[in-house]
Structure 1
C-alpha cells in the first residue's frame, strides 16, 4: 500500500501534478492577480466587471429566499446571481463563510488559480482511473491540460475557465466504465456542483453522464434505471431553495447561433510553429479549439498505433464516441465554414430553437472532444508502444507542444497583464450623489436601445455594487426590461425620490429638456453632468 502511494497514481503523484500547476501560476501570474487587485481586474468595461459587480451586490445583500436571490440589481424586483455569471455556488459559499465587513472585494483571482490546480488534479485523477502508473504520462497530461489553448483563451470568462468540470466528468466516466457501475451518487454531486457554476460546462458533463448510462447499460435494470435519475431529482429539488420562483418578467431570446461557432480549421489553425491564414470568421473566437502541433502529430501516430494494435476501444466506448461526434457537429453549428468559405448550411428543426438560443456559443462544445483526443493519444501510446518509444514520443510531444504554443502563452500573459480601464470618476460621483442616495435609476436600461452600454452601464454596476447602492437594471442574462416611455415614467413616479438619483446616458438623452417629460409635473428637477451622464435628483415642487 505504501509503495502504491509513492507511484504517480498515489498522493505523491497528486502533489507533483499540483506542483506543476503552482509553478505555472508563479511563473506567469502578475503580482496581485490572485488577490483580485492587479490591473487586469481594474476595468469597468469587460466581462469581469459584470462578475465582480454581481458578486459584490449579492454578497452585501441580506440573505433572502430563494438563496441565490437579491434585489440590488434590477431593483426593486431583483434577480438571481445565476444570471450574472458570478459562479453562484462559489458566491453562496463566500456569502455564508466570509465576514460581511470585508466587502467589497474580488474573489475571482483565487478562482482562476484554483482552476489551474484542478486541471492538474483531474489529469492525475484520469490516469488513476485508467490504472496508468507513469510519471511521464502524468507530467505530459498535466502540461497538456494546463497549456490547452481552448483553456487559456477563456480566462476573460471566469466561469467558463472551470473546464476541470468536463475533465472530472471524463474521470467519472472512466471509473464507471471500469467498474461497470454508474455510480449515481458521485455523478449527482459532480453535476449538482457543475449546475451552480456554469450551465455550458454542466450540459457537457451531463451529456457525458448520459453516455456513461449507455456504456454501463444501466437501462437493463429497473433499479439502476431509477437510480440513474438521481441527479435530475436532486438538482430539480435544489432549485426550490436556490432559484425558484423566478420573477415574472419578459425573457429575452439570445441570438448568435451560427456565428459563435467552430470553424472546420480551428483544431489545426496553428500557433507559433505553423499557422493557417484566414482560419476563422468573425465571432468564431468562441470556437477557438486549436489542439497544438504536438498533440496533432501525436494523435496521428496514436491512430496509426491503434490500426496496428486492434482493440475494442471505440466499440466499448461507442456511446462516448458518438457523443463526441455530436459535440463536434453542434460546435460547427448550422453554418459550417472552412476558413472564410461557407461550405454547408443546415436547416435545424424549429423545436431546436430553445437549445440553440440557450447554447448559442456552439463552438465551446468541442472542448470535451479536444480533451478526449489528448487522453486517447497518451493512453494509446502508453499501452501499445515500448517504454523507451513511449518516453521518446512524450518528450517530443511536450517539446513541440510547448514551442508551438509560445504565442498562446504570450497572448494569455498579455491578457492577464492588461492595463486598467477606468471610465467613471468615483470622486465626482460620490460628491454628486452624497450620503443620502440609496437607489440609482439608470436609463436606458440594459437591452433597451443604447450605443454604448458597456461604457456606461457596466461602470455604474461596479460603482453601485462597491457603494452598496441598488440599481434598477444590470447586465443580466435573459432579462428583457420594458423600454417604452410609459413604463419608464411609471417607474420614476413610484421611486423613493428623496433617496434616489436618476442617471441618464448622454448618448441617448442629449439634454435635460429631453429628460424633464419623464418626471411627474409636480417635481422640480436638478440635473448635473457627470462623466457620461446627466445625474438628476427630483424634489416635490412647493406650491
Structure 2
C-alpha cells in the first residue's frame, strides 16, 4: 500500500506542477485559445457533452451538421471520459470539457500503474517501486505526446503488462473480467491503445503454450475480450471508418530508442526527431532514456542467467513485443536519415495504422519493467538510482510540456464580438468547410476553422463542419451550394478570408445581410445573418 501511495503522491505532484488549474478545469470565456490537436479534441468533446443522448452515444448531431452529425470518436474526443462528463453535465460549468482533465489523470495514473506492473512481476519492495514510478513518469515517448491528450494514456499499457503477468501465473474469472474491461476502456480512450493492450493480452495464451501449460482456456478468454471490443466498436459506430492511410510514413526509426533527443545529459533538442521517410519523426520518437538503458544494461551484466530464465518463461510476450516492433518499423525500415530496408508496398489492412511508430510503446514499458526487475535482484536501491537518473534525464521534456501547458496564445480573431454573435445564433455555417481546405492551405483556413469552432463550442452552437481524422464516407466539398442556399432563421454564415472572393457573391442578399465581424489573419471575417 505504501508503494501505491508514494506513486500516487508523485503523480499528483507532477500533474499540479505541469498543468495550471484553468487547463485541468476549463470553462467558457477564456482569454486565450487552444491550439493544434488540443483544439480539435476540445471542440468535439464540448459538442458531445452538450448534445442529447442517442445511439451511438459518441455521435453529436449538433456538429458537422452538413454531413448529418459527427461520431466524435473520430475526432479523438476521449469518449470514455466525455461520456462520464455528459452524465454530470448538469453540475459542470458552462463550456467545460475534460481534455485538460485527462492530461492530469494520465499523469496521476502513470506512476501508479507502473507500480502495479512491477508488483505483478512479483517485486513488492518499496525502493524498486519508487524507482519504477519515477522512471515511468519520465518516459520520453509519453511526455512527448503532450500535443495529443488521448495518446497520453500510457498507463493503460502498464496496466496491460501487469494483467498479462498476473494472468500467466494465477488466472481467475475476476482477472479475466478486469482484462476485458481494460480492453474496452482502452478503445474508448483511443483505438491505438486498444490494439496494443489486446496484443499484450494475446501474449497470455502464447506464453502458456510455449511453457507447455494449458492454453486453450486463455485463448478462448482472449477471443471473448476481442469479441467484446468488436461489439463495442460496432455498437459505437467505429466500424467502416477510414483515414488518409500512409502506413510507413510515420514509423519507428531503428535508431530512435537510442537517440537521446530531449535528454538532459546529451543536451540534444527534442525536435527535430530522426526521420528517414520525409514526413517528420514525431510519431516514431521513442528515446528510452538513460535511466531505463542503465537499468537494463546493469541488470543484464550482473544477472544474465536470471534474465535468460525470465525471458524463457515469457517467450510468448517476447514474440508479441518483437511483432509490435516490426509493425512499428513498417515496411520501409529507417535507420537514421536513410531507409535501410524497403519491403515494398504493405498489405492494405495495415493502412489503418498510419502512425505505426506508436506500436513501440509497449516494448519500451516492457524493457523498463525488465530492467527494474533485474536491478531489484542485484540491490533494490539501484532501482531508485535508475529511476532518479531517468527522472533527471527527462527534465527538458517536462519543462517543454509545462511551458506548453502554461502558454496563453491569444485569439487571432475578435473573440468577444464572435461570442456575442454566437449567443444569439441558432446555427453556424462555416465556410470553407474542412472538406474543402486543401494543402498547402497558405491562408491558414484549417487553423482558423478550429479557432472559430472553439468559440462556437462554448455554447455548442450547431455547426456545419468539423475536422476529423477518420470518416465513413470520403469527404465531399459542397461549399458553393451551401453559400448559395437561402439563409435559415437564426443562421450565422461565417466566411473566412481565403474564400470570400468566390463564395461571398453567391450568398443571397449578401449586400444587405453580410458584414465584417472583426479582423482575422489575411483579412476580415464576414458574417451573414
- Shared topology, TM-score over 0.5? yes
Mapped partners of 1:331, 1:313: distance in 2: 25
Mapped partners of 1:380, 1:430: distance in 2: 58
Q: TM-score under structure 1 normalisation?
A: 0.85
Which segments of 5 or more consecutive residues in structure 1 lack a partner in the other structure?
Answer: 1-10, 539-543
Q: What residue in structure 1 maps to residue 368 of structure 2? A: 374
Mapped partners of 1:273, 1:318: distance in 2: 34
Mapped partners of 2:239, 2:395: distance in 1: 48
Q: What residue in structure 1 maps to residue 344 of structure 2? A: 347
Q: 1:401 to 1:537 in 2, by over 3 A?
A: closer
Q: What residue in structure 2 maps to residue 216 of structure 1? A: 208
Q: What residue in structure 1 maps to residue 5 of structure 2? A: 15
CA RMSD of aligned residues (A): 3.0
Mapped partners of 1:427, 1:58: distance in 2: 24
CA contact (8 A) 1:262 1:331 kept: yes
CA contact (8 A) 1:177 1:216 kept: yes
1:142 Cα deviation from its structure 2 partner: 0.3
1:472 Cα deviation from its structure 2 partner: 0.9
1:536 Cα deviation from its structure 2 partner: 4.2
Q: 1:96 to 1:518 in 2, by over 3 A?
A: same
Matched, 1:500 2:520: no
Matched, 1:475 2:467: yes
* 1:422-437 equivalences in 2 (<5 Å): 422-430=411-419, 435=424, 437=425
Alignment counterpart, residue 364 of structure 1, candidates 345, 355, 358: 358
Q: What residue in structure 1 maps to residue 264 of structure 2? A: 272
Mapped partners of 1:399, 1:221: distance in 2: 40
CA contact (8 A) 2:264 2:392 kept: yes
CA contact (8 A) 2:135 2:386 kept: no
Alignment counterpart, residue 427 of structure 2, candidates 439, 450, 453: 439
Q: What residue in structure 2 maps to residue 526 of structure 1? A: 513
Q: What residue in structure 1 maps to residue 25 of structure 2? A: 35
Q: What residue in structure 1 maps to residue 291 of structure 2? A: 294
Q: 1:336 to 1:380 in 2, by over 3 A?
A: same
CA contact (8 A) 2:56 2:235 kept: yes
1:213 Cα deviation from its structure 2 partner: 2.5
Q: What residue in structure 2 maps to residue 71 of structure 1? A: 61
CA contact (8 A) 1:33 1:40 kept: no
* Alignment size in residue pairs: 509
1:103 Cα deviation from its structure 2 partner: 2.5
CA contact (8 A) 1:527 1:536 kept: yes
Q: What residue in structure 2 maps to residue 157 of structure 1? A: 148
Q: What residue in structure 2 maps to residue 109 of structure 1? A: 100
Which segments of 5 or more consecutive residues in structure 2 lack a partner in the other structure?
Answer: none
Alignment counterpart, residue 503 of structure 2, candidates 509, 515, 539: 515
Q: What residue in structure 1 maps to residue 248 of structure 2? A: 258
1:165 Cα deviation from its structure 2 partner: 0.8
Mapped partners of 2:290, 2:218: distance in 1: 43
CA contact (8 A) 1:501 1:535 kept: no
1:241 Cα deviation from its structure 2 partner: 4.5
Matched, 1:400 2:408: no
Q: TM-score under structure 2 normalisation?
A: 0.87
SS of structure 2 residue aligned to 1:497:
coil
Q: What residue in structure 2 maps to residue 6 of structure 1? A: none
Mapped partners of 1:129, 1:41: distance in 2: 46
Cα deviation digits, residues 408-451 of structure 1 (max 9, x gap): 2222222222232312212222455672x211112221132341
